[in-house]
């Protein structure tokens, strides 16, 4: 497959979980590409994730907001493509504070699309999510399926995507979209199920399962997802979306069981809490298009990925311990309520 040759990239939101793995992957595999990272450093952005790249040639970090048109325009004028990871990303937080999601995930995406159009970029890669398809009762979501987002987070991601697609139609923006499934691995802020359960287990705390724990997700190891984004960026066709997932389904109960086994936590610590409002009970992706057109597929199985992830959290307590601070526990108290009050 023919690859496009990019020289200078603006990668937004790369101080977070997936973006930091993506930038480190690029540095290892495509060191000729100059990278500028733009990140607002919200609670989820962590300079430690990119510390090994500081002061290395061909890399620079700029603190700023993707919704800041002037700053984005300035930086976009210095590169040939944008890859956007920047977003508010936690569904439970979106239920408490939806408008932060609208500003970043919709307006911010629009600002980036406008800058990419204005500067005639070769490609604009938008990192989207399988959540835009909504709850999938049967079958698997294909890239051509309608959007049915059901949370303020997924509605904001869908809104940002639609705005970017409108630029593709109206202005010929060379847009490529990836729709990834649930990522897990090192450096994930301990609010999503996998790192929250692992850090709770290491602290001897209860693992809070929403509802009956039967909701399923397609858990993908973060490095597999990043390879997929790299494949879409270099080999994807403008105007196309690509689902990136493993094609397997794992329930919340199965995630808890894996964490109990791998950390040695007492199984009695698995507890039920009040269900998430509007909980999507199943996401399932058809991932054939990425395999056929990008030559990509996930390689790390759930068991292997969980072993690596638990090992990383055990060995890197100094990374996650400071994140479980006052603001973190304030959110925790608001979000987690006993199941019996349902």
Residues near ligand NAD (CB under 6 A): 12-13, 15-19, 38-42, 44-45, 65-67, 85-89, 104, 108, 127, 129, 157, 180, 182-183, 189
The pair phi, psi for residue 139, each rounded to 5°, is 70, -160
Is residue 181 near ligand DAU by the rule CB under 6 A?
Answer: yes
CA angle 246, 41, 14 (to 5 degrees): 35
Is residue 226 near ligand DAU by the rule CB under 6 A?
Answer: no
Strand partners of residue 35? 9, 59
Is residue 215 near ligand DAU by the rule CB under 6 A?
Answer: yes
Q: Report the residue number, 265 or 302, with the smaller CB distance to ligand NAD.
A: 302
- In the complex, what is the shortest distance from the CB of residue 4 to ligand DAU, in angstroms, rounded to a whole number? 26
Strand partners of residue 285? 141
Q: How far is CA 329 from CA 100, 118, 191, 325, 332, in A?
A: 20, 43, 11, 6, 5
Active site residue 153: yes
**Contacting ligand DAU (CB under 6 A), which of 190, 208, 228, 305?**
208
Strand partners of residue 101? none
DSSP 79-111: -SEEEE--S---HHHHHH-HHHHIIIIIIIHHH
Q: Report the residue number, 245 or 265, with the smaller CB distance to ligand NAD.
A: 245
Specify whether the CB–CB gap between 188 and 195 falls below 8 A. yes
# chain residues binding ligand DAU, by CB under 6 A: 19
Is residue 161 near ligand DAU by the rule CB under 6 A?
Answer: no
State how far the Cα of 299 lies from the Cα of 291, in Å rounded to an integer. Answer: 12
- In the complex, what is the shortest distance from the CB of residue 324 to ligand NAD, in angstroms, rounded to a whole number? 15
What tokens does 85 get? 């990871």
Binding residues for ligand DAU restricted to 73-92, rule: CB under 6 A: 89-91
The pair phi, psi for residue 35, each rounded to 5°, is -120, 130
Active site residue 224: no
**Out of 133, 153, 167, 242, which one is annotated catalytic?**
153
Q: Report the residue number, 114 or 130, with the smaller CB distance to ligand DAU.
A: 130
Specify whether the CB–CB gap between 33 and 123 falls below 8 A. no
State how far the Cα of 282 lies from the Cα of 266, in Å rounded to an integer. Answer: 28
- In the complex, what is the shortest distance from the CB of residue 220 to ligand NAD, in angstroms, rounded to a whole number? 8
Q: Which of 307, 325, 50 is nearest to 185 (CA)?
A: 307
**Out of 130, 191, 218, 280, which one is annotated catalytic?**
130
Active site residue 97: no
Is residue 258 near ligand DAU by the rule CB under 6 A?
Answer: no
- In the complex, what is the shortest distance from the CB of residue 53 to ligand NAD, in angstroms, rounded to a whole number? 14
Specify whether the CB–CB gap between 45 and 65 falls below 8 A. no
Is residue 182 near ligand DAU by the rule CB under 6 A?
Answer: yes
State how far the Cα of 36 lies from the Cα of 265, in Å rounded to an integer. Answer: 42
Q: Which of ligand DAU, ligand NAD, none lies near 22, with the C-beta cut-off 5 to 8 A by kind?
A: none
Catalytic residues: 130-131, 153
Which residues lie near ligand DAU (CB under 6 A)? 89-91, 129-131, 181-182, 192-193, 196, 208-210, 215, 217, 252, 276, 283
């Amino acid at each position: 497959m023919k690859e496009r040759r990019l020289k200078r990239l603006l990668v937004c939101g790369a101080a977070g979980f997936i973006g930091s793995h993506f930038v480190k992957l690029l540095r290892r595999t495509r060191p000729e590409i100059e990278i500028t990272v733009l990140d607002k450093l919200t609670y989820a952005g962590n300079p430690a994730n990119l510390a090994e790249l500081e002061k290395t040639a061909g890399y620079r970090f700029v603190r700023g907001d993707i919704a800041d048109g002037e700053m984005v325009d300035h930086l976009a004028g210095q590169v040939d493509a944008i890859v956007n990871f920047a977003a508010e990303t936690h569904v439970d937080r979106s239920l408490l504070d939806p408008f932060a999601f609208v500003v970043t995930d919709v307006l911010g995406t629009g600002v980036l699309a406008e800058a990419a159009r204005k500067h005639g970029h070769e490609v604009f890669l938008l990192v989207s999510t399988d959540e835009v398809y909504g709850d999938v009762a049967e079958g698997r979501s294909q890239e051509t399926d309608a959007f049915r987002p059901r949370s303020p987070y997924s509605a904001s991601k869908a809104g940002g995507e639609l705005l970017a697609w409108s630029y593709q139609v109206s202005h010929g923006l060379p847009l490529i979209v990836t729709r990834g499934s649930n990522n897990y691995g090192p450096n994930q802020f301990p609010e999503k199920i996998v790192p929250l359960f692992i850090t709770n287990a290491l602290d001897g705390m209860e693992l809070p399962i929403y509802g009956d724990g039967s909701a399923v997700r397609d858990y993908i190891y973060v490095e597999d997802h990043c390879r997929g984004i790299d494949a879409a960026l270099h080999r994807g066709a403008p105007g196309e979306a690509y689902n990136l997932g493993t094609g397997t389904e794992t329930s919340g109960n199965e995630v808890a069981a894996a964490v109990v086994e791998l950390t040695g936590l007492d199984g009695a610590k698995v507890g039920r809490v009040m269900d998430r409002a509007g909980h999507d009970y199943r996401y399932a992706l058809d991932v054939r298009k990425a395999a056929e057109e990008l030559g990509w597929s996930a390689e790390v199985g759930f068991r292997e990925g969980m072993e690596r992830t638990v090992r990383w959290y055990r060995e890197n307590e100094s990374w996650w311990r400071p994140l479980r601070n006052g603001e973190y526990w304030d959110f925790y108290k608001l979000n987690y309520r006993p199941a019996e009050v349902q």
